[in-house]
Amino acid sequence: MKILIVDKSAVIPVEKYGGTERVIWGLGKELSKLGHEIYFLVKEGSSCDFGKIIPFDIQKTIKDQIPENIDVIHFNHTITEKIEKPFIVTMHGNPSPNQTIDINTVFISKNQAKRFGSSTFVYNGLDWDDYPEPDLDQERTYLHFLGKAAWKVKNVFGAAKIALESNNNLHILGGERWNFRNFKRGLKYVLNPKIIFRGMVNNETKMEILQYSKGLLFPVKWHEPFGLAIIESLYAGCAVFGTKNGSLPELITPEVGFTGTNANEIAKAIRNFDYNPRKCHEYAVKHFNSKVMTGSYLKLYEKVISGETINKEVPEYKEAENVVPKFS
């Protein structure tokens, strides 16, 4: 097959933060290994040694930038144009209640799909060959937070509260110590010597920090669609502790972590948890790799090429399913 992967906001490959970019990179590489011809319609400045890059031109429609010989198109996030070729759309985020969702939309967790009346989902997978092999025998002495710390729903200050209540230092990856929001809302954490802000880090530095961490704190205050921070941390041998929102109860089994309804409950679980870095690592490698993900997407490509739709009905926002419980 000739497959076009579209993410007009992405630059690939990525060195530091990059969620969707890492997913589509691993997908394209795995498809190429299987003999498929891969094209990426992505931002200028991208490069790829296993596929052809088509720099996205904001002056043109997407339709005008699709090569004639393409068999199937894989859009990421959303689509706003009428496309005549077979295609699917992976929804990586949480659509707004009034957003129109295409009938060929694929979600990235069972919970996310259910919240829009669908049952079609494919878990994200990463190419673990792009990550350094973690030392699973290291002594682990702290906890970490991984994500966009400036984004309120990621709840970095909730993570800090849990770390301190469980008597642990917390390393924050993906956030800056000194910014207006931190100064205004979290000064007691910013100035606490047990809270260490590491900023944006590349893969090498990220894995170096994570292999000394007991676990990821992920007390999100929204319905997390998937959470690449979860599987990256598991790969590094870290347990995961978070809320029960979104995909977390699906991804975090009792053997590799804990989900709770409040900070005290999670802090207690951290203190009593039976840590097993090797079990966490093996769980991520087995279930959340790009090969498994690619196999699932290939079945969906074949489905739309044959003229079927991904969903029987157009997915729609389900008010009751999207209510987010309070977390304290």
Burial 160-176 (b: 16+ CB within 10 A, else e): bbbbbebebbbbbbbbe
pLDDT in tens, 240-297: 999 999 999 999 999 999 999 999 999 999 999 999 999 999 999 999 999 999 999 9
Of the two residues 327 and 55, the one the predictor is more confident about is 55
pLDDT at 184: 53
Per-residue confidence at 16, pLDDT binned at 50, 70, 90?
A: low
What's the average model confidence in pLDDT over 123-148?
95
In sign, the C-alpha dihedral spanning 13, 19, 21, 26 is positive
Tally Cβ neighbours within 10 Å of residue 140.
18
Partners of 146 in the β-ladder? 173
What average pLDDT score do residues 116-136 get?
96
Q: Do residues 5 and 76 make contact, with C-beta atoms less than 8 angstroms apart?
A: yes
Q: Is 278 helix (H, G, I), strand (E, B) or coil?
A: helix
On the question of pLDDT at 203 being above 90, the answer is no
pLDDT recorded at residue 192: 87
In degrees and rounded to multiples of 5, residue 259 shows phi and psi of -120, 135
Are the beta carbons of 310 and 105 closer than 8 angstroms? yes
Q: What is the pLDDT of residues 181-193, one digit of tens each?
A: 554 555 677 778 8
Give the model confidence (pLDDT) of 308-319 as tens digits. 999 999 999 999
- Confidence at 65, pLDDT banded by 50, 70, 90: very high
The candidate with the shortest Cα–Cα distance to 214, out of 267, 253, 261, 176, is 267
Least confident of 54-58, 63-67, 171-175, 273-277: 171-175
Helix (H) or strand (E) holding 312: none
Q: Both tokens of residue 87?
A: 């295609």
User: What structural domains does the chain harbor?
Assistant: 2-126+291-317 (3.40.50.2000), 130-286 (3.40.50.2000)
pTM of the predicted structure, to 2 decimals: 0.94
pLDDT for position 119: 97
- pLDDT beyond 50 at 8: yes
Looking at the chain, the whole-number percentage of residues with pLDDT higher than 70 is: 95
Residue 178 is predicted with a pLDDT of 47
Neighbour count for residue 61 (Cβ, 10 Å): 12
Residue at 57: amino acid letter: D
